[in-house]
Amino acid sequence: MDRFKVMPDGVKLVNEVVNRDYAPGEVERIDTLSMQGCKKLIIVIRVGKVNCVRVRAIKNNLSEWRVSSIDASLPKLLWGHNGRCIKTEEDYLMALTVLRRLMNPYVTPATHERILPGVGPGNRGSLGRVEITVQMHDPGSRILRASHSAKYPKVRKPNGIFHGESTKTSAGEHGFSIYDKRAEMGFRKGKSKGIPDSTTRIERIYRSSRRLAQAIEENTDYSVFAATLSFPDAYSLLRREVGNLTGFHINGAFPPSGKFNKHASLMAALWDGLSPQRRTLDHLMSTYKATIPCCSKTMATVRRDLGALLATKSNLTLDQLIPPDPAHFPWEDIPKDFEEEMHRSSLHEKLGEQITTPDPAIVEAFSKTRILRKISGENCRLGPTDGSFHYARPWDKDIR
C-alpha cells in the first residue's frame, strides 16, 4: 500500500486552520480557490521536512469548512519516504492510526471519530484513490522488461513505456505502474552504494472508490463504493489483477526485444553449460570481468543486456512472482536510515507521544473489507444512516 485517499463523512475543520499564520512550519501551504461559487481550501501537513498529508475542504453556506478528501502516503507516515512498502497488516493499521492522530488537531473534536471511513456508527465515508504496491529484487530488470508487452483486458490505450525503467498502463479510473523504484528515487551511478542493483515495484492504481469496489466484487455494478479495505484483501486483489495481465509472459519464458551488446550475447550462450549452482547473473559477470577488462560504462551495459537475455532461460509463474501469502513475498526495501530516524523523532515531537499499537477502532474497521451501496433517496446516501448526519457526499452536485 502506498497512496491512500479517503472521502470522510461530515468532518469539519477547526476555524484556526483557515488562518494563513496557523502552525507555521507544520502546514506547508494553504490556498483558497473559487469553485462553482464555493470556497475551496487545500492544506498540506508536514512532519519535519516531509509532506505527509494533503487535505481538501469546501466551505458551505453555513460558513463551515467540511473536509472533502484526505490524501496521504502510508509509507511516508511511518518512515518519511516511500522507498519501503507496507508489508504486513500491522504496518497498515499503524499507518492509519498515525494518519488519524495527525488529523486530530485540524478537525473539530466531535468529528475525530469520522476521519477514516468505516469507523463509528452511521459513518458513510468511503475510500478514494488507493495504490496497492509490492516491491522486489529484480536482477537484470527481467520482470520490468517483460512488463513492456503487458496489456490489461479491455484497455485499448497503448502502454507508456520507458525501456528498461518503467511501464504504465492507464484506463481512466484504474491503471498499472511497473517501474524501477531505485531509479525513480534518484539512486543512479555513483549514488547507489548499499542499494540493490535493481528494485522493481508493481503498483495497481484505483482512482475511485467505485472502481475499487467493482474490482473487489468482480462486477460492473455502478452503485457500489469501497468503505474499508483490509491488507490481506488488498494483496489478494493485486495478485489477481497481475494474473489478468496478458502478454506479461508470467507463465512462460520472457522474450528478448531490441538490440543487445555482442559481449552480453556471447556470455548468455554459456548459460546452458553451467552447473545449476553457477547459473546466476553475478557469476557470468565475474567471468566476463576476469576475461575481458573494460570500463564501468561497458560493464553496466553488458550487465543490463545480459540480464534481459537470461530472462529467456527461465520461466516465472504467478505463484513465483507474487506468492499467495504476503509473508512469503520477497520484499525488497530501499533503506534511508538517517531520514527514517529523523522522521520518527519529528513525528514523536509533533504528536507528543509515541504510537506503539494501532487504534482498536481502526483495527476493527480495517481488518475487514466493507462495500457500501448507493440507495435512492435524498442526497443519494450510502447505506443505512441514523439520520444525525445529512452532509452531501463528494459525488453530489450540490454543496450544502
For residue range 121-154, what is the model confidence (pLDDT) as tens digits? 888 888 999 999 999 888 777 788 778 777 888 8
Burial class (CB in 10 A: 0-12, 13-18, 19+), 390: exposed
Global confidence as pTM: 0.76
- pLDDT band of 260, cuts 50, 70, 90: low
| Residue 394, in any domain of the structure | no
| Residue 368, in any domain of the structure | yes
| Residue 392, in any domain of the structure | no
| Residue 54, in any domain of the structure | yes
- How many beta carbons lie within 10 A of that of residue 126, not counting itself? 28
| Residue 257, in any domain of the structure | no
Contact between residue 95 and residue 80 where contact means Cβ atoms under 8 Å apart: no
| Residue 388, in any domain of the structure | no
| Residue 396, in any domain of the structure | no
Is residue 376 located within the same domain as residue 356? yes
Is residue 95 located within the same domain as residue 182? yes
Q: Number of structural domains, the chain? A: 2
Is residue 354 located within the same domain as residue 300? no
Last-in-domain residue among 279, 295, 313: 313
Find cell 454543496 and name the residue.
Answer: 399
State pLDDT tens for residues 344-360: 888 888 888 888 899 99
Is residue 87 located within the same domain as residue 231? yes
Is residue 19 located within the same domain as residue 60? yes
Amino acid, res. 302: V
State pLDDT tens for residues 266-298: 777 776 677 766 666 777 888 888 888 888 888
Q: For residues 280 and 83, what is the distance between their CA atoms, to the nearest angstrom? A: 26
Is residue 172 located within the same domain as residue 30? yes
Is residue 156 located within the same domain as residue 271? no
Is residue 194 located within the same domain as residue 140? yes
Is residue 189 located within the same domain as residue 304? no
- What crossing angle do the helices spanning 281-291 and 296-310 adopt, rounded to 10°? 140
State pLDDT tens for residues 292-308: 888 888 888 887 777 66
Phi-psi region of 195 (alpha: psi -120 to 50; beta: other; left: phi over 0): beta
| Residue 177, in any domain of the structure | yes
Is residue 73 located within the same domain as residue 148? yes
Is residue 324 located within the same domain as residue 306? no
Is residue 23 located within the same domain as residue 99? yes
Residue partners of 297: CB distance under 8 A and separation at least 6: none
Q: Which domain holds residue 293?
A: 262-313
